[in-house]
Structures are given as C-alpha cells and as structure tokens.
C-alpha cells in the first residue's frame, strides 16, 4: 500500500526541549540516592514514559510526594502556579521544562487579566495545560470546549473579557469563537496562544486526508493534539485510526485501501512513526 507521510509528524520543539532537560538531569545526577522525578508524565506518550521509568525516573502524581532534595522536572504541559510554589516550598529542586509556547501563554494571560478581566479559555477543562493556564488568571475564569459550551455561559456584556486558547486547539474553530464573541461583548481582548506547529500539523493532516483512502494518526490517547489530528482527518469523511502501538494496525482494516495517510502527534517518537510507515507499506 502506498503511504503518504506528513513532514510535520513527530516531536515538536517544546517536547524536544522537555526531554533534553530530563536527559540533562539524569546525566548530572550527583548520587545514586538522588531522585529524578517528573510531576505527571513528562509528555503524553506511553512508550516514552516506559523508557524513562526504566532509566529510574520516578513519576509523581502529587507535589506532596516530592521529598526535600528531589530533582522535579515540570513537564512540557506546565503546572499550576500553586503546584510549583508547593514543590519549591517542600525543598525540591525544580527544573522547569514547560514548553516555551505554553509559558508565553501563561504569562500573557497573567498580564491581560491582572486587573480582574474574565478569562474565557477555549480548551479541555481536565487537561494539565489548561489547569496551568487558568491558574495564571487574575480574575474569574471560564473554560469551554466548543461553541455549545460557550453559548451556555452567562456573560454580562459590560464586563472586560480576555479570550485565549489551549495551545493545541483548532485554529479555525478559535476564529469562529472569536467572531461570535466580538459581536456580543463590548470589551474583549484576544490572545493568540495557539502554537504555529499545531496549525501546520492540522493543515497538513487535512491536506493528506483529502488524497488518501484512510488515515493513521500515531500517538498517545492522552495527547490532546494527537486526538485533534484524528478529528481533522475524520472530518474529511475517511476511515481514521488513532493508534498508540504499531500492532494495532491490523491488515483487515485496510483491505479495501490503496493509499494511506500517516501523521503523528507532537509527543510521538520518530521510531514509532517509522515502524508504522513500514507496517502500512507492507500491507
């Protein structure tokens, strides 16, 4: 089967930087007793998480699990301001591996809402990046996942508002949301917080999906940007398979296909994308 592979598939800049910081922490460990930890998964990819667990990296799910002297790497998605403060107060040595694009969004939200403006954040309420972004708001905050949730919010027109987005959201939908709010609110500041890499990946996935019989998206199921790539492909009306592991690509799924598209989330290792391409090409 012919495979069209996305040039943008694989690690983004923020993920690469986060893993470089974790690798540096492992190299610079001063004693075998010194714990190197991440707060939550360093990135949303199960294979990468397994790799670092095998290297002795401890995953903490709560800042209270950190011990004095631990090296705690803040993951690419970032954490809340309160969480970082608790880590430092507990005696941990914090290495901030927050993606620069996420950090820029956090600081932009802090500045724009410093005098009490209401934050309207387009994103997944339970995603760690979104919880971190909301923690930087200087006033009230509403998180919504789409137009239906947005239109249900009580928004008095005389208040100042700030519109921002999770960095991996759909830019086209954000544009629709922006136009809707500009028509209804008197005071609205719009922050451009969607990462360019996200836009480029979604546009390429949309382009490839228009030329193939089926689409494969490789990446962790916890990864928001990977799920949205799959949504973009499905919107083209073709069968789309979001897989974490190559053995999920069963031959019978592609029995009627001559050409498949292949892309991957921003936290998917190149080795996994290569293996998926090889598997598809062999069918």
> Structural domain of residue 29, as residue ranges?
14-98
Q: Which residue has the higher pLDDT, 170 or 178?
A: 178
Asked if 166 and 78 touch (Cβ cutoff 8 Å), the reply is no
Question: How confident is the model over 166-184, as a mean pLDDT?
Answer: 93
pLDDT digits (tens, 9 = 90+) for 64-92: 999 999 999 998 999 999 999 999 999 99
For residue 197, is it within any domain? Answer: no
CATH of residue 243: 3.40.1010.20
Binned at pLDDT 50, 70 and 90, residue 175 comes out as: very high
> Buried b vs exposed e over 148-163: b needs ≥16 C-beta within 10 Å?
eebeeeeeeeeebbbb
Pick from 98, 113, 144: which residue ends a domain?
A: 98
- Confidence (pTM): 0.83
Asked if 267 and 281 touch (Cβ cutoff 8 Å), the reply is no
CATH of residue 64: 3.40.50.11270
229 lies in the same domain as 240: yes
pLDDT at residue 29, as a whole number? 81
Question: How confident is the model over 184-199, as a mean pLDDT?
Answer: 93
Q: How far apart are CA 192 and CA 158, in angstroms?
A: 23
pLDDT at residue 33, as a whole number? 64
For residue 171, is it within any domain? Answer: yes
Q: Which residues are annotated as a binding site?
A: 12, 44, 77, 99, 127, 167, 195, 223, 225, 267
pLDDT digits (tens, 9 = 90+) for 14-39: 999 999 999 999 998 876 668 999 99
Q: How far apart are CA 98 and CA 129, in angstroms?
A: 9
Q: How many domains in the chain?
A: 3
The catalytic site residues sit at 129
Name the token pair of 245.
């592991």
Closest by CA to 221, choosing from 44, 76, 52, 51, is: 44
Q: Which residues are annotated as a binding site for isopentenyl diphosphate?
A: 44, 77, 127, 223, 225, 267
Question: How confident is the model over 130-158, as a mean pLDDT?
Answer: 96
85 lies in the same domain as 120: no
Q: Which residues are annotated as a binding site for dimethylallyl diphosphate?
A: 44, 77, 127, 223, 225, 267
pLDDT digits (tens, 9 = 90+) for 196-209: 888 899 999 999 99
pLDDT digits (tens, 9 = 90+) for 211-262: 999 999 999 998 888 998 999 999 999 999 999 999 999 999 999 999 999 9
pLDDT digits (tens, 9 = 90+) for 78-132: 999 999 999 999 999 999 999 999 999 999 999 999 999 999 999 999 999 999 9
């Amino acid at each position: 089967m012919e495979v069209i592979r996305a040039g943008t598939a694989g690690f983004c800049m923020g993920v690469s930087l986060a893993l470089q910081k974790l690798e540096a922490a492992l190299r610079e460990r001063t004693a075998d007793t010194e714990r190197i930890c991440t707060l939550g998964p360093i990135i949303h990819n199960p294979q990468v998480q397994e790799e670092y667990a095998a290297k002795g990296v401890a995953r903490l799910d709560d800042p209270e699990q950190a011990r004095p002297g631990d090296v705690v790497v803040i993951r690419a998605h970032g954490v809340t301001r309160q969480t970082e403060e608790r880590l430092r107060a507990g005696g941990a040595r914090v290495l901030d591996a927050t993606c620069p694009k996420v950090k820029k969004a956090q600081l932009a939200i802090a500045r724009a809402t410093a005098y009490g403006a209401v934050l309207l954040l387009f994103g997944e309420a339970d995603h760690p990046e979104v919880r971190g972004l909301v923690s930087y708001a200087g006033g009230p905050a509403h998180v919504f996942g789409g137009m239906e949730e947005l239109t249900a919010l009580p928004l008095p027109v005389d208040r100042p508002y700030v519109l921002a987005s999770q960095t991996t959201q759909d830019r086209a939908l954000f544009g629709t949301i922006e136009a809707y709010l500009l028509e209804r609110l008197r005071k609205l500041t719009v922050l451009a917080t969607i990462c360019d890499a996200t836009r480029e990946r979604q546009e390429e996935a949309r382009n490839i999906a228009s030329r193939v019989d089926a689409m494969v998206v490789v990446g962790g199921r916890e990864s928001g940007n990977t799920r949205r790539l799959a949504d973009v492909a499905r919107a083209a009306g073709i069968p789309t398979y979001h897989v974490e592991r190559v053995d999920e690509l069963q031959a019978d799924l592609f029995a009627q296909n001559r050409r498949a598209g292949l892309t991957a989330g921003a936290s998917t290792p190149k080795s996994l994308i290569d293996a998926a391409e090889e598997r598809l090409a062999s069918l």
